[in-house]
Structure 1
Amino acid sequence: MALAVALQASLRIRERRIPLELANGDALESVLTRDLLAVEAISDGDPITSILLLDADGRRLWHGAGPRLPRSYCDAIDGGEIGPCAGSCGTAAYLGRPIYVSDIATDPLWADYRDLALPHGLLSCWSTPIRDEQGTILGTFAIYHRTIGNPSADEVEAIAMITNHVAHAILRSRTAETHEQRASRQNRDRPFLKLVRDDNGLDACVGSVNLLLRAAKLHSLADQVENCAAKSESKSEAEALRKIARRCRKLISAIRTQVAT
């Protein structure tokens, strides 16, 4: 009970700080590292914590954070494929349930990984899937110990609190990244849209040109417009169409310059 109370207080502090850290541009690994260090600081038994993130294909786990795990060990398991016999984390992600391995040296789930863990004194590993609100697995949270054993009831409760907190941190980070990417894309598009708006009467084309720009079809658009101009019986209409075609070509040149820089 004392562990749960202390953990709740610590995680509440982290909850308040995470939005500011992300707003300041801190990487997800830095945010999760602070979470893990806060958890380890109030835990008994010198636990070594780790977070692995499941890739978009749902096949492999990649390093998320593990401030006290040996770097060589983190590198060795980075990108490991999940499966029914893939250590604690790979199996937990595959089966979608906690996997508590009390003795890495003898548990068959660690047959392919124990030679990586044991030289570092990692003797037990308890891993739990990290899920979002819809139940989708985002990754795994693991606790390693340099002793053999299973988690107590209090520790299982604490693990549930931690995984819930970590899930929120991961989702906040992804939301912040999405907003940043959207803003960056808008900033990239703005010079091109300005080129279009500079000509009178072309404002209505901005939305369509922008979509075509994203689909990399400006070459095709310019060709089609020029063909229409050649077939037009109206000189003013033909000139307006050629003007749009020239603007498309100018946009293509601007895009190439932007990419080159």
Structure 2
Amino acid sequence: MIRLSVNINKIATLRNARGGNLPDVQQVAVDCQRFGAQGITVHPRPDERHIRYKDVELLRPLVTTEFNIEGNPIPKFIDLVLQHKPDQVTLVPDDPDQLTSDHGWDTKKHKTFLTDVIGRFKEAGIRTSIFVDPDTEMIEHAVYTGTDRVELYTEGYASGFKTDPEATIRPFVEAARKAREVGLELNAGHDLNLENLSFFAKNIPWVKEVSIGHALIADALYYGLQNTIQLYLRALRVEG
């Protein structure tokens, strides 16, 4: 079964809007796991506009499933990851002022940099994943960095799903097959939701995990957090 990692950045955004500790990011992480999520994802950015670096320290002992830290591997981020040693680190090429992730790595151009960073994380026993577009060439070059996994950036799939799901999923299936062919495990994330998640899972059932935040937290406003997590887990089940 594809694992669900809940990105709790939006919980931190809501907390930060008023100051104080409501909602409680730590309690939400505990509750997500209690309700069935198989992982917790955070994506601290340099301006700390949602998850703060201090949150990572506080969350680390509370995450008993899988802890995934995403981010651009600037020196401060690298130090954070090495200090708290999550189960997985996902490298994302974010610009400092970027609203949200909007592209994957050029693994050919940045091969040397990624290889050096990934080497440091692997020495510390941390599984690594690289955020990539559904581009077979970028996946082929990702192998040479030493990464364990690639995470498909799925915004293109989500945006085209309503119009033509079959055509939209095609490059993602091709990319996923390439990852499997070259021996890389596969994650996926960005704009996956209850409408498009099941179709994605049925077409690429060998995905190891999906990281979902914005849509899941928005759905929780209507359905409640526990029920929403169960709905997402149900959407990820692939029969047969």
TM-score of the pair, normalised by structure 2: 0.30
Q: Which structure is higher in RCO with an 8 Å CA cutoff and minimum separation 6?
A: 2
Higher helix share: 1
**The structure with more radius of gyration:** 1
